[in-house]
Every structure is written in structure tokens, then in C-alpha cells.
Amino acid sequence: MVNWAGLAGIAACVAGLLAGKLYSGSDLPLPYPAIVPIAPFHPDKTPKFGALEGPLASNEKLRNATKLFEGQIHGSESVALAADGSLWMLDKFGYVWRAPEDGKGSYAMESKPIAQLGPGRPLGFDFDEEGNLIVCNSGSGLVMLEKGSKKVVLLTSRVSSDDPIDPDSTIDYINDVTVASDGIIYFTDSVQGIMPRRNRQGFWDTMEAYLLTLFQGAASGRLLSYNPKTGKTHVVALGFWFANGVALSRDESFIAVVETNTQTVHRVWLAGAKAGQQEIMIDRLPGFPDGISSTSSGTFWVALVVPEMGIVKHLSNKILRCVAAWLPKELKPEVPEWGAVVEVQSDGKVLQALYDPDGSHVQRISAVTEVGDRLYFGNLAGDYVSFIKKP
């Protein structure tokens, strides 16, 4: 049985001890696997949530979603459809699963996985023009599953030494990826100095690492690029408080980058008069944004993995962040459940939102991909993936 009083007492003692360090100007430590201290809070990064009104008003449309492989696929953060129409999923243990179409409007998952990616936690993934699967294997790096041989190849795990911005820096928390038509691979490194670690359940725990980034407070996330022709990895943009989903615009003039902890999606311009510049595409989303994808019509779908949490209103308090980081899992605040995705135009105008407001059917949608008349949903924490006919 958990000794709640004892744990609360330990937390209070830790708070008291660390308060002295705060006022003495010393660094406040974070638990392992973080190797960086708590950072000063920047007011321009204060979380700001939008209201559930207008096109963002709550509804129950996601309760019509069809679940796939419930109890069989555990933690496929994203989904991808191959050129042959098969559905691909990567579970939290690093196994790659393929589900061909069954001829009845659904899918039949093969009995054995195609491959195992090795150490790390697969998050975002995408196919390149040759049909190779490009995977953000967090804890390892950017990897490729070759189409024919099914050989796993590590493409990069650090920035190139000739990069003008952050040379030879490690990629600590690789998260999401998109592949441009010229073969350049764009991907996010969510934070520097905090890495996922393998837990007692046998998988690499990216959620534990994410919570440490929330309490640490540094805007150290980056957008990176990898050129398969040269093997070079470069920094494209930086300064994100947990860089997450990425998606190219239809004309590939800019790339949309999710900044989870500020409820914001940014445009990073790749071409044209604004090339190299960065600006806000949409902010004040009503939940924490995770994955993002573009559509053939030029819009974007954003997955809001969880709704607003009360603790984020107090993140400017350095002591509170430190205590929250050190609290045992049993004492950490519960995360409210819901399912939510939002469609926005390239100018940031919200077109529609789909919800399961209490998560009674689908919850914690971490990625959304539009193919044909369907939306497909990844689920970082659940034991299923799902889809729905686009409204």
C-alpha cells in the first residue's frame, strides 16, 4: 500500500530544501533522465488556451470513430498508409506492424511484425519516395527501414560538425518527421538535455521525459533537416518549448511546427521572400497539440492529445515546477481524458474541430492523417488505432 502521508512529507521536505537553493541562486536539479537543471521561465512562453467556442466548440463527433486492433497494438503514436493501401503501425516496443486492406473497408493485421527497430521508442514516421519507412526512434535517432531488405539503418543521431548554429550537438528527443519531394527529411528534436529511458515495462518512456520538459521550462526544441544525398544534419529553426509535430505545406514553401507547451503551431519558411523566417500560424489552441499533417486541399489537421491542465497556470513558479518534477508518480495530478482534432487553414483559420469530450470512446489522439475520405488516428498511450469518415 502507498504511504500517502509519507510521500507528501517527503515532497514537503524536498520543497523546503530546494527553496534554499532557489534563493541562493543555485541550479535546481531535475530527476534522471534529465541532465539539465530547471530553467528560468520566459513570460512569452506562458501557456494560453483557447475557449471551446465557435468552430472550436465541443461536440461528440469522434464517438463515431472505428477502433482497429484494440488490445493488439500498444502505443502506435502515429499511423501511415503505404502506396499499396496497407496501414502501418509502430508499437511502443519498437515493432513494425502491417495491416493490408481486408476488402470490406477495414484492415487485417498480419500475425507477425515486419521488423524490430532496436533500442528506442518509435514516435512519428513517414514513407519516402522510394517506399522506405523513415522513423523518429526516440532514444536512438532518425532511422530508416529499407523497403526491400527490411534492414534498419541509423541515418543520424547528431547535428553535423559543420552546422553554423549548433554543430555536433546530440539529438536527444527525436519526435516527428516529414519527407519533402526533393528527399530532404525534416524532423523535430523536442528538447536538449532530457532523453527518454527504458522503464520496467520494457519500453522507452517518452511521457516521463515529456513531463520533465514541461517542468524544466527551457525552449530548447529544434527543427532539423537531414539530406540523404550528403548525410548532413542541420538546424533549421530553434527556440521551441517542446517541438513536436511537423508537416510541409502543400507547395512546400513552409513547414508547420507544433510547439506543444505553448499551444502553438509555427510556420518556418523554406522558400520565397520569407525564407528562413519564423512566425505563428495559430496559437491559443484549446489543448496540448501533438501531431500535425497536411492535406491535399492545403489544410492541416492538428491532434490535441490532452485538454488544458490546471497546473500549467502556475509554471512560472520555479519551486512548484521542481516539486512537481520530483513527486512520485502516485502523487502527480491526473491527466484529464478526451479525444480532439482540429482542422485549420494555412493562414491559421480554424475550419472545424472533432471531439470525444470525456474520452469515453477514443482518447489521447496523438496524430491524425487524412487519406481519401478518412481520418486515421494514432494513439501514443492506447492499445488501438482508429479512423473516422471525414465530416
Query: What CATH number does the domain containing 214 carry?
Result: 2.120.10.30
Residue 129 lies in a domain: yes
Rounded CA separation 367/78 (Å): 5
Confidence of residue 24 (pLDDT cuts 50, 70, 90): very low
CA atoms within 13 A on the CB side of 24: 8
Handedness of CA 235, 241, 247, 251 (dihedral sign): negative
Residue 348 belongs to a domain: no
Strand 350-356 vs strand 339-344: parallel, antiparallel, or unpaired? antiparallel
Domain annotation covers residue 21: yes
Residue 66 lies in a domain: no
- pLDDT > 80? residue 158: yes
CB-based burial, 110-148: b 16+ in 10 Å, e otherwise: eeebebebeebbbbbbbbbeeebbbbbbbbbbbbbbeee
pLDDT of residue 133: 99
Domain-embedded: residue 112: yes
pLDDT classification of 21: cutoffs 50, 70, 90: low
Kindly state the helix (H) or strand (E) to which residue 98 belongs, with its residue range: strand 95-99
Question: What 3-state DSSP class applies to 339?
Answer: strand
Share of the chain above pLDDT 90, in %: 81
pLDDT in tens, 239-267: 999 999 999 999 999 999 999 999 999 99
- pLDDT of 15 reads 57
326 occurs within a structural domain:
yes
Average pLDDT of the residues in 336-341: 96
Count the domains in the chain: 1
| Domain-located, residue 302 | no
pLDDT surpassing 60 at residue 7: no
Instruction: Give the model's confidence band at 177: pLDDT under 50 very low, under 70 low, under 90 confident, else very high.
Output: very high
Range of the domain at 177: 4-46+77-297+310-336
Q: Which three cell numbers stand for residue 208?
A: 516521463
pTM of the complete model: 0.93
The confidence score (pLDDT) of residue 205 equals 95
Asked if 266 and 254 count as a contact pair (C-beta separation under 8 A), the reply is: no
Q: Residue 370: helix, strand or coil by DSSP?
A: strand
- pLDDT at position 20, please? 57
Domain annotation covers residue 53: no
The residue-averaged pLDDT of 357-373 equals 98
Average pLDDT over residues 47-51: 94
